[in-house]
Amino acid sequence: MCALTGKKAIVTGGASGIGRAVAVLFAQAGATVSVVDLDEPKGSAVVGAIIAAGGQAMFIRADVSRAEDCQNAVAETASALGGGAIINNASGWGLTGGGRAAVYCASKDAVVNLTRVMAIDHGAKNIRVNCIAPGDTDTSMLRDEAKQLGEPVDAFLKDSADRPLGCISRPEEIAAAVLYLASDAASFVTGAILTVDGGSLAD
């Protein structure tokens, strides 16, 4: 049900962390993947790993904060690969507040409502738009956050695991949720915010 055979995908931020895990999993599921990132060495390495494993992928260098780069990335992908469903990456902190993270929380809340609006605007075109709201995930970004806050990394990760499932997620676990939303198994799902946080918001 979650196969992506014959489908095309653009994965922004695909050079590392959750994006990398999504790109790899999508390729394993049969999609042809366009890895979009500013980090060309890491992005090209992801593409190389996908191809070495028998998948299909290409790298596009782009700054997603620039409209022109986004348009070019889509155009290049469309001419070479095609297009796909839209899954935005929000955060649990886009659904609830968090200390010392005002800008981050506000931006992720914007992603949540942007998802809902896009689902309304594009539903008539049969374009589904959903988003994931991950909890703390074992990536370099989480460790960088600890350093930015001046906290010991080990203690920060231990505190981050204080949730019903008792651990932080792996990027591959978040990628599995993205795969579901991109697949035909979610054919009637749009405008949804899928929380993948080990029960943090339920606690």
What residues act catalytically?
Answer: 104
Q: What's the Cα-to-Cα distance from 152 to each of 142, 155, 161, rounded to whole Å?
A: 12, 5, 15
Buried b (16+ CB within 10 A) or exposed e, 22-51: bbbbbbbbebbbbbbbeeeebbbbbbeebe
Pairing of strands 32-37, 56-61: parallel
Q: What's the Cα-to-Cα distance from 184 to each of 129, 135, 143, 154, 161, rounded to whole Å?
A: 13, 25, 35, 40, 32
Backbone phi, psi, residue 135, to 5°: -90, -165
Distance CA 74, CA 198 (A): 33
Q: CB of 29 within 8 A of CB of 2?
A: yes
Q: Closest Cα to residue 169, out of 30, 17, 57, 8?
A: 17
